[in-house]
Amino acid sequence: MLEKTLKSIEPFTSNVEKNSRFCIGCGEPATKLVKYSTEGAIIIEKYCEKCANAIEASSSLKDRS
Ligand SMILES: [Zn+2]
């Protein structure tokens, strides 16, 4: 499994990604773009606010260990 590091969580700012605006975590309409950095690439995933918050929280915990 590829190591991903949370880079940022941003609200949607444009109508890009019109075709897939659903949270990949739960299927609700997505409102956040979650960016991860991996080796040599940025990965952008779409989540609703709730899932984005959960990701942010778990990522912070990982950073401390
Ligand atoms: Zn969700």
Residue 64 confidence (pLDDT) above 80: no
| Ion ligand 1: residues, CB < 5 A | 23, 25-26, 28, 48, 51
Q: How far is the CA of 46 from the centre of ligand 1 (A)?
A: 9
**Which pLDDT tens digit goes with each residue over 5-25?**
999 999 887 665 555 689 999
**E strand map for 1-65:** 5-11, 32-38, 41-47
Range of the domain at 43: 5-64
Number of domains in the chain: 1
Looking at the chain, the whole-number percentage of residues with pLDDT higher than 70 is 78
| Residues 6+ positions from 13 with CB-CB distance below 8 Å | none
CA 18/CA 16 separation, integer angstroms: 5
Secondary structure class of 39 (helix, strand, coil): coil
